[in-house]
Structure 1
């Protein structure tokens, strides 16, 4: 089972390691203080590792699986007995879907469209388990969600116009 996902422990262009986490999803209960401590510790562990080292780290009785895509890091914390390669594939699957949706996903996409990134993640994983492995299905669900949002915006806009005209 996946316990947590952290995305975008950013590495600045000048090479400094900032460790700003832009997206987190917790599948186990932790207090805010514990979450901050976990993020700080894992950021320190992952960002200091060399690029040619293995993408799996043992940490506090768990395994941490991470993958770097350009300046973005995606990291998942799993049980010791879970398959690391399967989790690496889930990370890659998530990034491919993000790339399809955003064009080429970057830190700004995760900052300004975090709700979409979370929605996509929720279509792939439920309660820390893989729910949907088909990229086409996820893309279709995201398109349907976007269509619903646009319809709701149009309806809200037309209602606002009606109210504005009525109050004149």
Structure 2
């Protein structure tokens, strides 16, 4: 996979993950062109399209489009399944994910994606294992923030 984009029906980019080195200018142009191309397509059209030297696979879930660019030899159906698995993971974590969850918890959306995909390849196909890793990271983060809170509190008591 070359990259993944999440964007709204209004064309607002909500998440972008690039697995190939490109300049910011190239990324912006690709994002703009692809968002316009996909939003211009009719809902009943195929979710696969040839674009430049890549295959674009996209799927709309509620108000968000999930779009992946893969190389010519990659399987579109597997890519569609990867998109679906990511949506399932987001749903499990957020409880029926919506655009606002992505906007206000973008760091968690990226973290979930990074637990699932590594370098554009699925590293863990088990939803259960990915969710367990996310839960463990949340617990660790909670402990660390609780530890910092206790540390700050003790410093304030000492003064």
TM-score normalised by the shorter chain: which range applies? over 0.9
Distance 1:5 1:163 in 2: 45
What's the offset of the Cα at 1:90?
0.3
Q: 2:18 aligns with which of 19, 22, 26?
A: 26
Alignment partner of 1:109 is 2:101 = yes
Q: Which residue of 2 aligns with 1:15?
A: none
After the TM superposition, which residues 15-164 of structure 1 pair with which residues of structure 2 at under 5 Å, given as runs? 18-164=10-156
Distance 1:106 1:72 in 2: 8
**What is the root-mean-square deviation of aligned Cα atoms in Å?**
0.7
Q: Which residue of 2 aligns with 1:3?
A: 2
SS of residue paired to 2:151: helix
Hey, which bits of structure 1, 4+ residues long, moved more than 2 A?
Answer: none
SS of residue paired to 2:83: helix
What's the offset of the Cα at 1:115?
1.0
Unaligned 5+ segments in structure 1 are 12-17
Distance 2:105 2:128 in 1: 21
Number of residue pairs aligned between Structure 1 and Structure 2: 159
Deviation readout 1:122-144 (Å, 9 max, x if unpaired): 11111111111000001100110
TM-score by length of 2: 0.98
SS of residue paired to 1:77: strand
Distance 1:156 1:107 in 2: 31
Distance 1:29 1:133 in 2: 25
Distance 2:64 2:83 in 1: 12
What's the offset of the Cα at 1:88?
0.1
Unaligned 5+ segments in structure 2 are none
Distance 1:113 1:156 in 2: 22
